[in-house]
Structure formats: C-alpha cells, structure tokens
Structure 1
C-alpha cells in the first residue's frame, strides 16, 4: 500500500503527517491540544485537522467555540460525528437534537443538517463515500 501524507502549510509548517497507510495511529488528545494552540483557534470560531483520509473515508478532529454554526450542511456520502466534549444543537429534517459527550449522530448522503455548538465543543467527524 502506498503511504500518503499531507504537505506542510503556512498554518502548520511542521504539519507533515501520515494520512493514509495500512494503519494510522491517531493521538486524539495531542490533536485537540494542537488545535487549541494554533492561531486559527484564536482568530476563528472553529479549528480542525484531518487525521485520516483515503479514497472512501475521511476523519476530521474539530474544536468549536460556543456559537459556532455549520448551517445547511450536506455531503454526497454518509457522515457521522461523535461528541467528545461540550454540547451541540443539531437540526435535521425538522427535528432538533442535543447530543452530548459520548453520543454520536449519523446521516445518510444528502441529508441537510445544521450544527451549532452550545458550549465550547470537541467532535470527531467521519465521512464515507459509497
């Protein structure tokens, strides 16, 4: 299997990391600490990093400040997000949910949803292409 890694950027000059290989180890607490230490977190209401990316699946670790909103969001593939900390308000198909730490929501492809952080929150987002 070909090992794939990202390229360093101005925001993450030391950011060269493996994104796809036969196996990828992910240190979630380290990424959460990194996200909160970056300038992007100071300037914006959210910050995220891709922990894994293959042709069929992507895993993103994200931190959201209270009030951060992702409105009218939908993707071509399936999507899950798991709440690590904080609390969210999620709207989908006319219903409202309040997932808390340890809970996860899953959406089929094309299902529009809106996510608002009720408090500072940490989530893991996984997308799947079918």
Structure 2
C-alpha cells in the first residue's frame, strides 16, 4: 500500500494532506469548513476536496451553491452519493430523485446522471473502480 499525499496547488499551497495511507481519519465537518473558506467557493458555484484516492477507490467531498448543476456525465465505476448537508436533485434514466441530508444514491458504472442543488449542499462522492 502506497502512502500518498496531495501536491501543493495555487488553491491549496500547503499541500501535504494525506489522501492515501493504511488508515485515515477524516473530519467531514472540518473539510466542509475548508471548502467554504477557499476562494474557489466565493468565485464559483462549487468547490471540492479529494479526501481519499487510490487505484480502486476515490472519495471526494463536493460543495454546491444553490442552483449549481453538474451536467449529465458518466462514471467508469460504481458510485455512491451521500448528502451530508442540504438538498439536491439526482437525475438518471428519466427519473429525478430528491435527496436531502442523510439520503444516499448508488449507481452502477456508465449510467448517465446529473446533479443540481436546490439549496447549498455538500455531498460525499465515492467512486469504486
């Protein structure tokens, strides 16, 4: 198992945040605070933070302002979307699922889907490849 940290970026100049280790303790509420404190949150309709990344699994915390939309796309692995805070619509195969805090969707690979926030929303995207 490879220990991995993220690299510094203009958005996150400190870098060195562990994203893959034998075990990681993650603080979702602190991650939300980090997302909303960054300039990308102020200047865009969204921001995200990769919490874990390996060859087979990725966990990303995504924040969307109200009315923000992730246009129709697909994922090459099984995914889950778990709403941590707020409300959003998750649309796939002609159906729209209304998701609120504590709700979750699971989707098989390569199925077109979209997400739109009806309020400010934060969700965990987990992608297994």
If the length of structure 1 is used for normalisation, what is the TM-score?
0.96
Unaligned runs of 5+ in 2: none
Given that 2:5 and 2:15 are in contact with CA atoms closer than 8 Å, whether structure 1 keeps it comes out as no
- What displacement does 1:31 show? 0.7
Deviating 4+ runs (over 3 angstroms): none
Q: Write the distance in 2 (CA, Å) between the matches of 1:6 and 1:15.
A: 6
Aligned length: 129
CA RMSD of aligned residues (A): 0.8
Unaligned runs of 5+ in 1: none
Q: Quick check: 1:13 aligned with 2:13?
A: yes
Q: Write the distance in 2 (CA, Å) between the matches of 1:42 and 1:95.
A: 31
Q: Write the distance in 2 (CA, Å) between the matches of 1:18 and 1:85.
A: 24
- What displacement does 1:102 show? 0.5
If the length of structure 2 is used for normalisation, what is the TM-score?
0.97
| 1:88 alignment counterpart | 88
- What displacement does 1:15 show? 2.9
| 1:62 alignment counterpart | 62
